[in-house]
Amino acid sequence: MDRMVTMETFVTVVDAGSFSAAARRLKLGQPAVSKAVAQLEERLGARLLLRSTRGLAPTAAGQRFYEHALRAIYEAEQAEQAVRESSDGLSGQLRIGAAVTFARLHVLPALKPFLDQHPNLNIDIVLDDRSVDLLEEGVDVALRMGTLDDSTMTARRIANGRRLVVGTPSYFAEAGLPQTPVDLSRHQAIVYSLRGGGESWLFSRNDGSDSTVTLSGRISVNAAEGMRTAVLAHMGVAVASEWMFAPELANGTVQAVLTDWTLPTIDLWAVFPAGRMATAKARAFVAYVEHLLNEHQSSDDPVA
């Protein structure tokens, strides 16, 4: 193997935690991966990996080599990308991870201008409400909402959205409009059980008063599409990001209540694979989404 390929192989082994997992990512045989690392250790005259029953971990020398190799790989990729961008713009494949509903409402409908700007770029979108392993899935960048579970991830906040209490006019005509957060205890709630959801919520008002409410209801869902479907079927209220019901809030199919109270806002993050530099393609996409959302947010009227 040439020097750059060897570095990429070693970096993949460290990221994957085993020769077998690295071999799967690289689409090579495990013996070839093990041999490449052994030859690298022999050439450098240093042990780079500690092997145990729990897997592999870099030695102190291996960690230093890993960090320098990452920078070298990144700089090589940037050099190649700079040449491509100077003539043809972004090219190749960009693999994006995003929650199903957010992508359907806010990413997919807005992709055409981005693709028009970069005619040699192809986009592969992994739709999943759960936090997938970016390295395992080969994802260049993921859009995630709420509090990030893994503090080791490389992430950047690109937008901040309101949470609202929402329901359909038909539901409120039957169940009544809540006048205070405490009134929600008498309503059927659709509870979103994944990250960014839950049953207990803190409501605040400008006069400094707070109210903590625990929602209850007969339906709990682990996907935003399920929450949307239940709310739109007039089955209850939900605490949701404004992004989740943006079209319906705009056309009146869904209405927000208790708007003189505020809920904790929700962050949208661009998350990159741990230990990897963000590619030019990923950075360009994130900048595009950030501009799109912040431009839309600044032009929105307050929710009535």
| CATH 3.40.190.290 applies to domain 163-264 | yes
Percent of all residues in the chain with a pLDDT value above 70, rounded to a whole number: 89
For 3-84, CATH gives: 1.10.10.10
Evaluate whether 3-84 and 88-161+267-299 have a shared fold: no
Largest interatomic CA distance in the chain:
77
Pair 135, 12: CB distance under 8 Å: no
* Torsion region of 180: left, alpha or beta (phi above 0 gives left; psi -120 to 50 gives alpha): beta
Residue range 141-154: average pLDDT? 77
Q: Which of 10-14, 145-149, 208-212, 256-260 has the highest mean pLDDT?
A: 256-260
37 class by beta-carbon count within 10 Å (0-12 exposed, 13-18 middle, 19+ buried): buried
Q: Assign 302 a pLDDT band (cuts: 50, 70, 90).
A: very low
Asked if pLDDT for residue 204 goes beyond 70, the answer is yes
Given this model, what pLDDT does residue 97 score? 93
**235 against 279, higher pLDDT:** 235
Name, in order, each residue with C-beta under 8 angstroms of 56's C-beta and a sequence gap of 6 or more: 13, 14, 17, 18, 19, 49, 50
- Helix or strand (DSSP H, E) at 289: helix 280-299
Which pair of tokens denotes residue 93?
Answer: 């494949």
Residue range 123-132: average pLDDT? 86
Residue range 61-72: average pLDDT? 89
- Whether the full predicted model's pTM is greater than 0.85, yes or no, is no
| Residues β-bridged to residue 232 | none
**Cα–chain-centroid distance for residue 178?**
33
What integer best gives the mean pLDDT of the chain?
Answer: 87
Q: Assign 198 a pLDDT band (cuts: 50, 70, 90).
A: confident
241 class by beta-carbon count within 10 Å (0-12 exposed, 13-18 middle, 19+ buried): buried
Given this model, what pLDDT does residue 277 score? 67
Report d(CA 63, CA 46) in Å as an integer: 12
Asked if pLDDT for residue 173 goes beyond 90, the answer is yes
User: Can you tell me which residue has the tokens 């929600």?
Assistant: 184
Lowest-pLDDT choice from 1-5, 30-34, 276-280: 276-280
Asked if pLDDT for residue 6 goes beyond 80, the answer is yes
Residue range 4-32: average pLDDT? 90
Which pair of tokens denotes residue 193?
Answer: 């059980």
Backbone angles phi, psi at 130, to 5 degrees: -85, 165
User: Can you tell me which residue has the tokens 């979103």?
Assistant: 192
Pair 228, 245: CB distance under 8 Å: yes
Given this model, what pLDDT does residue 170 score? 97
Given this model, what pLDDT does residue 222 score? 87
Amino acid at residue number 231: V
Given this model, what pLDDT does residue 236 score? 96
- Helix or strand (DSSP H, E) at 256: strand 255-257
Given this model, what pLDDT does residue 33 score? 93
The full set of domain ranges for the chain reads: 3-84, 88-161+267-299, 163-264
Given this model, what pLDDT does residue 303 score? 45
Number of neighbouring beta carbons within 10 Å of residue 212: 10
Given this model, what pLDDT does residue 304 score? 40
Given this model, what pLDDT does residue 294 score? 80
Given this model, what pLDDT does residue 3 score? 87
Place domain 88-161+267-299 in its CATH homologous superfamily. Answer: Periplasmic binding protein-like II (3.40.190.10)
User: Can you tell me which residue has the tokens 């690392």?
Assistant: 37
